[in-house]
Structure 1
Amino acid sequence: MKKLFITLSLALFTMVSINAQEISESGVLGAGIQATSLNYGLSARYNLTETHGIQAVIGGANYGFGGSVSAFTFTGRYLYSFTSNTNNLRPYAVGQVGVWTVKYKDNFFGTNANESESSISYGAGAGIEYAFSGLEQLGFNVEAGYGGGSFGDGFSYSGIFFGGGVHYYFNL
């Protein structure tokens, strides 16, 4: 995962664009990283219009328990952008649905075999994305909201989430 992230990052940041794109233009694709308490990983954002956008976040982690616990997440997000007086600032609302899968092995918490649990996650919130003057193709975002989900064994979670990300935008 780390090698994939480094390769994708280098490829994106070495791309040359003829015209600087505004982060809110229609038909612009952003690729980068996104992290909140509900999802994390490599991210792709696409502006369907200047107002409506979609985002996919895919990630995974090994939590350092000697390889005994690992996780995979996939989250789909809808972004509604609000009108801004500046071209490099984009306030937005976000709704998201995702899938988390956690795998346990090697007698972790009393389990004797490979086991996995899956959860459907949900969330809604708001955020702001900003591109610095001179770096209009690089958007930095922060967000907050409320979300949760439930695993099959009856364990559920919910609460306020905070997060952020960075995306490099280019025209298809």
Structure 2
Amino acid sequence: MRIIGGTLKGLRLNPPKNLPVRPTTDLAKEALFNILQNQIEFDNIKVLDLFCGTGNISYEFASRGADQVIAVDRSIHCINYVKDIARQHGLTQIKTYKADIFKYLQLETEQYNLVFADPPYDLNHIPEIPKIIFDKNLLLPDGLLIVEHQSMQNLSNHPAFVEQRKYGHSSFSFFKN
């Protein structure tokens, strides 16, 4: 796992093997950030990283100048790892929360420029994520929601769906406010 761009470009991270995660591959992450580079300004954005796992996506946004990155996961081991890496590399804009994602979203009232969700692929409630984000109005105007999921899953029935990009067994579905 490595940081692809920004101030920490090239930094290699080796998370513990016992974390309950399936990190976004470097290939898929690089493709995602190439897409985003043409759509958003990374400076001063607010990002919500749901199911943050190793913090791979959070570090990438922080490295590229995001003003605030909220990283949420239900695993205390993941949260502690993200906190440690953020502290080691001076990523003070990353704030972590240990919580069940769906309970967290029910209580969340902040709005974000970008919400990224990388739930476990076997989670039955993946299609509910866009519904909750838009019903709760958690995106700022022109905000973007990206959900990573198995390529065979289709999330295009949500009215805010824009496109799906496939990278092997993984896909990113994009939703725009």
Of the two, which has the highest radius of gyration?
Answer: 1
- For normalisation by structure 2, the TM-score amounts to 0.27
Higher relative CO (Cα under 8 Å, sequence separation at least 6) belongs to 1
Between Structure 1 and Structure 2, which shows a larger proportion of strand residues? 1
- For normalisation by structure 1, the TM-score amounts to 0.27
Between Structure 1 and Structure 2, which shows a larger proportion of helix residues? 2
